[in-house]
Amino acid sequence: MPAYLDSILAAHRAVTARDRRDPGATVDAARAHLEAVTASGGPDAPRDFTAALLTGREARGMAVISEIKRRSPSKGDLDPDLDPAVVAADYEAGGASCLSVLTDGEFFGGSPADLGAARGACGLPVLRKDFTVSALDVCDARTMGADSVLLIVAALDDAELTSLLALARSLRLAPLVEVHDEGELDRALAAGADLVGVNQRDLRTFEVDRARALRMGERMPAGVVAVAESGIRDAVDVERLAGVGYTAVLVGETLVRSADRTAAVDGLLGARA
C-alpha cells in the first residue's frame, strides 16, 4: 500500500523549508507575517468553532462538520468543478454546524480561495483542513480566514504539537487535534488538546476502520469535545457515534458525492430534530 501520509508530509515540509518568509518555521517569523497581513486589512474575527459544535449537539443530538473537497489521493476526483460558495450554502441549509475545507492543492485540489469563498457564503465556522507542519501554517490558516486548524498527531512530534496547539489558541483558532489510535490519543491529551478528532481512515494506507471511532470514543475523557472523522455514511452511523459520546461527525465524501447536499446533511441527523 502507498504511504500517503509520508509523501504528503514530505511535500509540505519541503515547501516550509524553502519558504523565504520563514525558513525555520519559527513562531516569531510566523507572527510577524500575520501581523503584517492584519495591518493591511486582515481577516475577520474568528467564529467560535467549538461553541458551534456544542450548540449543534444540543439542538439535534449531533453536530455535523460538512467537508468541501474536490478530490482525494485514494478516491481520485470527487467533484473537481464544485463551487465552494454554493456547496457551503447548501450545507448550511441542511443543518451543518461547521465546515471543513481542503486547502491542499497538490493532493486534494483545494486552495485558500476555496476556504475564503465557502466562509463568505455562509455564517458557519470553518476548519482549514490541511497538513499543518509549522507555525507559518497556523498563521496562514488565520490569515486566510479560518476559524479552526487541523493538527495531526501522526504528523508532529510532541514539541511541535504542544507549540502549535498553543500558537493556534493564541490566535483564537480552535485546534482540532486528530488521532488514529490510543497512543496518539494519549499524546494529544498530554499536550492539552480539548477538541479531538478520531480519524477512522489510516493516513498511511487510506483504508477505513469503522469500528475505530466506537472503540476510541469509550476512552475519551470527560470535558473533551470529540469528533468522529471519515467513513461515516448515514444516520445509523451517526446514531452509534452519538451513543458513545461524540459531539460531532466530520463527513466529506458522502456529502460531496450527493446529488442533494442539503438533504444529505439533514439525513445524517435522521429524526434527531
Q: Is-catalytic flag, 92?
A: no
Q: Is-catalytic flag, 230?
A: yes
Residue ranges per structural domain of the chain: 4-268
* Model pLDDT for residues 100-113, shown as the tens digit of each residue: 999 998 889 999 99
pLDDT for res 272: 46
pLDDT for res 10: 66
Q: Is-catalytic flag, 207?
A: no
Q: Is-catalytic flag, 75?
A: no
Query: For residues 221 and 189, what is the distance between their CA atoms, to the nearest angstrom?
Result: 9
Cβ count within 10 A of residue 131: 21
Q: Is-catalytic flag, 178?
A: yes
Band (pLDDT 50/70/90 cuts) for residue 17 is: low
* Model pLDDT for residues 62-113, shown as the tens digit of each residue: 999 999 999 987 788 999 999 999 999 999 999 999 999 999 988 899 999 9
Q: Is-catalytic flag, 69?
A: yes
What's the predicted TM-score (pTM) here? 0.89
pLDDT for res 13: 63
pLDDT for res 202: 78
Q: From the candidates 72, 100, 163, 199, which is the catalytic residue? A: 199
CA distances from 91 to 86, 191, 193, 234, 251 (A): 9, 33, 27, 15, 11
Q: CA-based Rg of the chain, rounded to a whole angstrom?
A: 17
- 199, 205, 206, 207: CA torsion to nearest 10: -80
What residue type is 43 in one-letter code?
P
* Model pLDDT for residues 146-183, shown as the tens digit of each residue: 999 999 999 999 999 999 999 999 999 999 999 999 99
The CATH number of the domain covering residues in 4-268: 3.20.20.70
SS (H, E, C) the chain: CCCHHHHHHHHHHHHHHHCCCCCCCCHHHHHHHHHHHHHCCCCCCCCCHHHHHHHHHHHHCCEEEEEECCEECCCEECCCCCCHHHHHHHHHHHCCCEEEEECCCCCCCCCHHHHHHHHHCCCCCEEEECCCCCHHHHHHHHHCCCCEEEEEHHHCCHHHHHHHHHHHHHCCCEEEEEECCHHHHHHHHHHCCCEEEEECECCCCCCECCCHHHHHHCCCCCCCEEEEECCCCCHHHHHHHHHCCCCEEEECHHHHCCCCHHHHHHHHCCCCC
More confident residue, 44 or 257: 257
Q: Is-catalytic flag, 106?
A: no
Q: From the candidates 69, 100, 160, 163, which is the catalytic residue? A: 69
